[in-house]
Structure 1
Amino acid sequence: MRDSDHYEPYEGPAGGWGSVQSLTKYALEEGHVLQNSAILAKQNKPDGFACVSCAWAKPADPHPAEFCENGAKATFWELTTKRAGPDFFAQHTATELQTWPDYDLEATGRLTHPMRFNHETDRYEPVSWGKAFAEIGRELSAIRADDPKKTVFYASGRASLETSYMYGLMARIYGNNNLPDSSNMCHESTSVALPKSIGVPVGTVRLDDFEKTDAIFFFGQNVGSNSPRMLHDLQKASKRGVPIVSFNPLRERGLERFTNPQSPIEMATGSETRISSEYYQVKAGGDIAAITGICKALLEMDAQAVEAGRQSLLDHAFLSEHTHGSSEFLDYVKSSDWDELERHSGLTSEALTRAATTYAKAERVIGVYGMGLTQHKLGVTTVRMLANLLFLRGNIGKDGAGICPVRGHSNVQGQRTVGISEKPELVPLDKLKALYHFEPPTETGYSTVDACGAIIRGEVSAFIGLGGNFLRAVPERELMEQAWPKMRLTVQIATKLNRGQLFNGEVAYLLPCLGRIEIDEQASGTQVVTMEDSTSCIHASRGFAKPASEHLLSEPRIVAEIAKATLPDAIHVPWSDWVDDYSKVRDAIEDTYPEIFENFNARMFTPGGFPKPLAARHREWNTENGKANFVVPEALSASFQTGTEPDVLRLITLRSNDQFNTTVYGYSDRFRGINGTRMVVLMNTLDMERLDIQNGEIVAMETKANDHVHRRMEGFEVVNYNIPSGCVGAYYPECNALIPLWQHADESKVPAAKSVPVRVVKMQAAMDQTAA
């Protein structure tokens, strides 16, 4: 086998000098190093700004540098000196820009002027804000008069609580609940699973629980790339002897070892902290089987303990008083076959018994997980299975224990809290009706998958995008890009150029907004916005940088102006007053959600944030039966691929060390040793030998789906990698073209991006098949 051209194994830890060198290089490329470095000192501080990258908790007592490598990259990315203004768009057509890589598009810099797309010239052209809002209002009003359900209001996870509240209200007064957001693509499985299991849609863990826990069980979350600040909490736990047991298909460096860049001693000596004490490379979609195996081993050990006269390993008092369905679940576990558990999980019974032994010895256990659990056909069931495991020893509702979904974008959880949801039952419609004197729509709106299907079918006339890169982030990219221009109106509110803005409706606008780190001056003075982190704590965030352009408007201002131009009948909504003074929006949020946001304006600068009430932390279960509920899984495999076809593999879409969500900062996935390209496919040696594929060979991938849609991507370089047999890995969002829209999680409709059934084929074979 020839060597891969772009792969060289990385031997260093997460963090360390590799992180410092990467960040220094990146800072120099973006310019204004000294100014931006000073602003970094304010990142994730009680009197500073919330990181525009991940949503990990902001401590009350922060480090001097409370940012990670990727968080700092996100800050430099937003504060770049590069600009994409009218001159840039005059030089490049949309058709040309569609050929540019994602990195090159965003690397053009900050957007500076409102732009309208001209289909005749195939270019964006500058337009005044007044004309933009007037035409957008006319178009939306006409569509509303025809059918308000034909408009989609999408929100990415970056918009503040203030903007999100205004945006959701605008959509509902307009006449629909079509409010898909980035939750639909990642943790909607959590939002569906946890209310059934514990009565709240979010995790129960606070930051200080990591200081009290006896063990941490990690499932399907790459902390080193996706939430690196969490490594500080894991490092502290590890140093006091807490076992960290990780289940993940790939051996991710952040889950293995860490050198703290903020420790002079560690940096000088090169010392490393062990993160995972046990590491199990579970097969993609095999977590249900793995958790069932842990439970089965626990029950076997419990039977032995009871027979020997020792204390039971199960928390029978908790199970009896607080749970429902334990008997059925325990019967299921006892009847499970070890051979089947091993086959579906890819792990041995000895390995699962070892993990169960660690679990049994700990009095307080935290279960952490990410999209490795949620993005499968049975993603909802998999999340509930982790809750099952925690129930067995009473690890919900006590200090140092609980379930901890790690959210992605910085306010994606908070948006849901203030009404960004397609599900009307999650929003206090009666309060909105009383406050603003309108009849809120009660019909369930479009989720992300629903919106995509409706766009493909030609049933959507307008799409408003509040941030994000929707067209690049969603599945079924080829069909989506073909259907997108058939819409009448597309509006994108953004800070930078991305691919989703290059496919345009008949009337199309690109509206540049202030970034979160920039100073936001309105009529009453400098404004502050708020966010909710992954641990349900709410923080204030204020900007410190000079805006990239004098022509930028804030997100609340843009939303308000669109609303005023579209909804002249919404006379009871003080849009202009809210824009003049964001504290008045917070008053409105408090009026709508008084149990969550009591004394909102007074508490928003609380160090560490002020916590959202979570009944399950106090063993109060807001479920239909008032209990924490077990679930019996309907299958051991969470994946769509359950057959035995030897040439069908499970594709795991991955994010690199040099990206966050769809934003690509560069072509260095340092921890995985991949440099200079993102078009790689990671393969197990046994699969390569079985399929006669060589290391470094250029191959194609094709989706196995019996729906008469041919999904194929070419040009992937094969990298021989430590990944479970039967699985392959490749980068998101590039591989979204391989994900069928209908392959999503049951109940939650989260795209099943962590186990896409694919075939890896030689290029000539792929071309021959296409020709045939």
Structure 2
Amino acid sequence: MTSRKAEEIQHEGASGGWGSVSGMAKVLLREKPTPASLDTLLHQNKPHGFMCTSCAWGKPKHPHKFEFCENGAKSTLWELTSDRCTPDFFAAHTVTELLGWQDYDLEMQGRLTEPMRYDAATDKYLACTWDEAFTGIGATLRTLDPKSVIFYASGKSALEQSYLYGLTARFYGNNNLPDSSNMCHETTSVGLKQVIGSPVGTCVLEDFETCDVILYFGQNPGTNSPRFLHPLQEAVKRGCKILTFNPVREQGLVRFINPQNPMQMLSGHATELSHMYLQVRPGGDIAAMMGMCKHAFALDAARREGGEDGVFDRDFIAQHTSEFDDFAAKVHATTWHDIERESGLTRADLEAAADIYATAKNVIAVYGMGLTQHVHGTQSIGMLVNMLLLGGHIGRDGAGACPVRGHSNVQGQRTVGISEKPELVPLDVLARQFDFEPPRDKGMGTVETCEGILAGTVKGFISLGGNFVRAIPDQEVVETAWSAQAITVYIATKLNRSHLVHGKASYLLPCLARSEDDVQASGSQSVSMEDSFSHIHGSVGKRKPASEHLRSEVAIVAGIAKATLPPNPTWRWDEWTADYGKIRDLIEATYPDQFKDYNARMFDAGGFYRGNPARERDWKTETGKARFTTPTVLSAVGVGDAPGRYHLITMRSNDQFNTTIYGHSDRLRGLEGSRAVLLMNPQDIERDGLHVGDVVSLVGDAGDGAERSVGGLTVTAFNLPSGCVGGYYPEMNPLMPLWYHDVDSKTPAAKGVPVRISAGKKPT
């Protein structure tokens, strides 16, 4: 089998289609939601409806009849399951026993129903009242140095509770507000801010209606944002060309059958999406873009010498950019030999891609974590922006930078103050608004939090959603040190592994899901979130809560704050809990330019746009202009090639969203069953004397002397570049050193982890 070509080995079916319908049906049958849950799906991502808790893709002004995707439906049905994880379940199992369970089995126990506290004598979680939980949490937090406590936030929490959560941390006395952005897209926030003055993408959803070239880097829409496939399909149909750069040949960018198109469903005729699909080496995007720029410079010079218009927008470059000459000199000095070596692509392919780029009037550059999760990921973003600036492709319709976010409100949380960086938060405004002196020192992000756990300086951890301990680098090492903390508090809908890794005191606080009716003193409440395009959307939950004991995230945050903080007449926790509109009034007062008439606009069709200076060509940078950057490396990986060394790409399956595992079918890659697989190039398998089906271990090869390994992996032939291997996140996290992260943003470098293969027994 190892002699077969890679493209013959990998599954080549279309994304979408009947496979997508089947995937949703499996979850529907397993979770057994109520008939009313189907009504939630019909109103999902629509005005005055429920906003999906899965990805942050935009919600159109004119939605489809079914404005949800396979994974969005899975996420909704997963929350609205009829299964319940009650105190009886915890009475039957010790925490130590549950630590041996698989992630999938833990979450499949269903919705948490009552607040629980950890009892060390029995090694079990025991039911407690809300008053007991808040009193115990507050009593412990008041004994701790505020600088030693972490307030982590999952990107799933809406704007209202996120804003209150950030206030709570600052009222308590710290800026220790890491969130899931630290682990995924923080490189965007840092990289884009440096070069265009905006920490978020510049596109809006309508730009995909007029672009004619899409440069697509390191993102998988088929699994991570399937609703994106609709505008991609429409763009291709009108003649737009998609140039894809990704080590993995993802079916969501190869071909697509639209489940809402009866003719496609019946005929099975798919839309071919990528005009070119270039399987770049991990971290080789800088080199690939450098090659395209090198050819574009040659084309520009030739056209101008011939009296034609050049490739570049020279007026835009002169008026709106700085440091162009330095970048041009770097392009001319870089050799094709180095470009081909580091990108893994041929000069001919890169020149062909550049020829297409050179003809475009409107270019959008789409990217995901395949571009950013590298040691030099910030330089990758700088290079991507360089390509856009050459043609003036920022600040006009149909063009711009488009990072695709993960969690439904991960961008919005940053907008309303969930940040460890005080310079990103209007602290002077908050000081006047709430009559207190905010902490001004930098707080801890994800990496610093883990370092503090290992050093014993972090004494408390509060988690607003998420599965932090499972998602981090050096996961096993940090987990071992976790129990030294004085207290851990987990706010959640379902049980996950992080809840079982606890401090001396620990509380598990069950919350309402976004799809459930949140009734407070003033009546049913609504919440809001921000999508990847900086649009704010209101969301209304209508389903009956899973338990009468559940509380909303707003109520839980307020309960912890009231039990912990001293009285202050401007801190009106009960009023804010009673009416979330008053929280939105606070947000508008803090950010008046972005949230003007917040309550009045939150249910606008398509959301309301909070604005982006870079889209208006107002550059909030050090130079006052958009900045060309000169890369110092051609490969974004932090540890280079060596004999026997591979670069591991961690990836998510089609049956997964972040650390949540919905099942064991990775349909779009043709993989079923076990997640304990090692994906390898067939020629690499043969060269290393391995065979398909061998069981091997991966060991870390970062050169720091630490022992890291993941065993029991079945060798599986897959279409990957030579020298690259693939495995599932989060199972591969123990191989990722905590220090192995982007230089500027400290985002873990999960898409190019240095490893070696340790052979195990062959299959019988």
User: What's the TM-score bracket when you normalise by the shorter of the two chains?
Assistant: over 0.9
**Equivalences for residues 552-567 of structure 1 within 5 A:** 552-567=550-565
1:247 pairs with 205, 222, 245, which one?
245
CA drift at 1:167? 0.3
The residue aligned with 1:530 is 528
Over 3 Å off, 4+ runs: 1-4, 7-11
CA drift at 1:641? 2.0
Matched, 1:748 2:742: no
Could you report, residue by residue, the CA deviation over 1:709-743 in whole angstroms, capped at 9, with x for unpaired residues? 20011000011110000100000001001000000
Local SS of the residue matching 2:402: strand
Local SS of the residue matching 2:623: coil
Contact preservation (8 Å) 1:8, 1:673: no
The residue aligned with 1:474 is 472
The residue aligned with 1:725 is 722
The residue aligned with 2:671 is 674
Local SS of the residue matching 1:153: strand
Q: 1:94 to 1:3 in 2, by over 3 A?
A: farther
The residue aligned with 1:770 is none
The residue aligned with 2:656 is 659
Please give the alpha-carbon distance, in whole angstroms, between the structure 2 residues aligned to 1:657 and 1:571: 50
The residue aligned with 1:28 is 29
Letter in 2 for 1:481: E
The residue aligned with 2:47 is 46
Please give the alpha-carbon distance, in whole angstroms, between the structure 1 residues aligned to 2:514 and 2:142: 30
Contact preservation (8 Å) 2:654, 2:668: yes
1:737 pairs with 701, 723, 734, which one?
734
CA drift at 1:33? 5.8
Letter in 2 for 1:117: Y
Please give the alpha-carbon distance, in whole angstroms, between the structure 2 residues aligned to 1:764 and 1:335: 49
Could you report, residue by residue, the CA deviation over 1:502-537 in whole angstroms, capped at 9, with x for unpaired residues? 111000000000000000000000000000000000
The residue aligned with 1:691 is 688
Please give the alpha-carbon distance, in whole angstroms, between the structure 2 residues aligned to 1:9 and 1:295: 31
Could you report, residue by residue, the CA deviation over 1:247-279 in whole angstroms, capped at 9, with x for unpaired residues? 000110000010000111111111211111110
Please give the alpha-carbon distance, in whole angstroms, between the structure 2 residues aligned to 1:415 and 1:693: 46
Contact preservation (8 Å) 1:12, 1:18: no
Structural RMSD (CA) = 1.3
Please give the alpha-carbon distance, in whole angstroms, between the structure 2 residues aligned to 1:698 and 1:345: 30
Matched, 1:212 2:210: yes
CA drift at 1:542? 0.5
Please give the alpha-carbon distance, in whole angstroms, between the structure 1 residues aligned to 2:195 and 2:185: 15
Could you report, residue by residue, the CA deviation over 1:606-651 in whole angstroms, capped at 9, with x for unpaired residues? 0000001111111110112110001101111100122x41200000
Local SS of the residue matching 1:142: coil
Letter in 2 for 1:741: L
Letter in 2 for 1:464: I
CA drift at 1:764? 6.4
Contact preservation (8 Å) 1:3, 1:695: no
Could you report, residue by residue, the CA deviation over 1:166-219 in whole angstroms, capped at 9, with x for unpaired residues? 000000011110000000001100000111111110000000000011111100
CA drift at 1:93? 1.0
Please give the alpha-carbon distance, in whole angstroms, between the structure 1 residues aligned to 2:286 and 2:676: 30
Please give the alpha-carbon distance, in whole angstroms, between the structure 2 residues aligned to 1:266 and 1:99: 45
Please give the alpha-carbon distance, in whole angstroms, between the structure 2 residues aligned to 1:25 and 1:652: 28
CA drift at 1:672? 0.6
The residue aligned with 1:768 is none
Percent identity for Structure 1 against Structure 2 = 55
Contact preservation (8 Å) 1:3, 1:696: no
Could you report, residue by residue, the CA deviation over 1:350-390 in whole angstroms, capped at 9, with x for unpaired residues? 11101101101110000000001110000111011100000
Please give the alpha-carbon distance, in whole angstroms, between the structure 2 residues aligned to 1:246 and 1:524: 50
Please give the alpha-carbon distance, in whole angstroms, between the structure 2 residues aligned to 1:657 and 1:275: 19
The residue aligned with 2:68 is 67
Contact preservation (8 Å) 2:527, 2:538: yes
The residue aligned with 1:769 is none
Please give the alpha-carbon distance, in whole angstroms, between the structure 2 residues aligned to 1:396 and 1:701: 42
Contact preservation (8 Å) 1:153, 1:171: yes
TM-score, normalization by structure 1 = 0.97
Local SS of the residue matching 1:277: strand
Please give the alpha-carbon distance, in whole angstroms, between the structure 1 residues aligned to 2:213 and 2:261: 24
Local SS of the residue matching 2:650: strand
**Equivalences for residues 442-481 of structure 1 within 5 A:** 442-481=440-479
CA drift at 1:8? 8.1
Aligned length: 759
Letter in 2 for 1:526: S
Please give the alpha-carbon distance, in whole angstroms, between the structure 2 residues aligned to 1:12 and 1:763: 32
Could you report, residue by residue, the CA deviation over 1:6-38 in whole angstroms, capped at 9, with x for unpaired residues? x98534210000111111121011103633222
Please give the alpha-carbon distance, in whole angstroms, between the structure 2 residues aligned to 1:3 and 1:305: 46
CA drift at 1:310? 1.5
Please give the alpha-carbon distance, in whole angstroms, between the structure 1 residues aligned to 2:193 and 2:748: 20
CA drift at 1:708? 2.8
The residue aligned with 1:114 is 115
Local SS of the residue matching 2:274: coil
**Equivalences for residues 252-271 of structure 1 within 5 A:** 252-271=250-269
Letter in 2 for 1:53: S
The residue aligned with 1:394 is 392
The residue aligned with 1:590 is 588
CA drift at 1:2? 8.7
Local SS of the residue matching 1:373: helix
The residue aligned with 1:577 is 575
TM-score, normalization by structure 2 = 0.98
CA drift at 1:308? 2.0
Local SS of the residue matching 1:730: strand
Could you report, residue by residue, the CA deviation over 1:372-413 in whole angstroms, capped at 9, with x for unpaired residues? 111000011101110000000000001000000000000000
CA drift at 1:675? 0.6
The residue aligned with 2:699 is 702
Contact preservation (8 Å) 1:27, 1:33: no
Please give the alpha-carbon distance, in whole angstroms, between the structure 1 residues aligned to 2:726 and 2:401: 27
CA drift at 1:300? 1.2
- Runs (5+) with no aligned partner, structure 2: none
Contact preservation (8 Å) 1:8, 1:674: no
CA drift at 1:703? 0.6
Q: 1:474 to 1:3 in 2, by over 3 A?
A: farther
Please give the alpha-carbon distance, in whole angstroms, between the structure 2 residues aligned to 1:580 and 1:47: 20
Please give the alpha-carbon distance, in whole angstroms, between the structure 2 residues aligned to 1:72 and 1:373: 27
The residue aligned with 2:414 is 416
Please give the alpha-carbon distance, in whole angstroms, between the structure 2 residues aligned to 1:33 and 1:366: 42
Please give the alpha-carbon distance, in whole angstroms, between the structure 1 residues aligned to 2:48 and 2:292: 44
CA drift at 1:572? 1.7
Please give the alpha-carbon distance, in whole angstroms, between the structure 1 residues aligned to 2:9 and 2:541: 40
The residue aligned with 1:385 is 383
Could you report, residue by residue, the CA deviation over 1:35-74 in whole angstroms, capped at 9, with x for unpaired residues? 3222200100011011010000000100010000000000
Local SS of the residue matching 2:458: coil
CA drift at 1:706? 2.6
Contact preservation (8 Å) 2:527, 2:539: yes
Q: 1:350 to 1:8 in 2, by over 3 A?
A: closer
Contact preservation (8 Å) 1:364, 1:401: yes
Could you report, residue by residue, the CA deviation over 1:221-243 in whole angstroms, capped at 9, with x for unpaired residues? 00100000000010000111110
Could you report, residue by residue, the CA deviation over 1:281-305 in whole angstroms, capped at 9, with x for unpaired residues? 0000100101111100101111221
Please give the alpha-carbon distance, in whole angstroms, between the structure 2 residues aligned to 1:117 and 1:3: 55
Please give the alpha-carbon distance, in whole angstroms, between the structure 2 residues aligned to 1:760 and 1:3: 20
2:712 pairs with 715, 722, 728, which one?
715
- Runs (5+) with no aligned partner, structure 1: 766-772
Q: 1:281 to 1:610 in 2, by over 3 A?
A: same
2:293 pairs with 274, 292, 295, which one?
295
Local SS of the residue matching 2:38: helix
The residue aligned with 2:430 is 432
**Equivalences for residues 229-378 of structure 1 within 5 A:** 229-378=227-376
Q: 1:727 to 1:464 in 2, by over 3 A?
A: same
Please give the alpha-carbon distance, in whole angstroms, between the structure 2 residues aligned to 1:556 and 1:281: 45
CA drift at 1:440? 0.3
Q: 1:2 to 1:83 in 2, by over 3 A?
A: farther
Contact preservation (8 Å) 2:463, 2:490: yes
Local SS of the residue matching 1:734: coil
Please give the alpha-carbon distance, in whole angstroms, between the structure 2 residues aligned to 1:191 and 1:575: 31
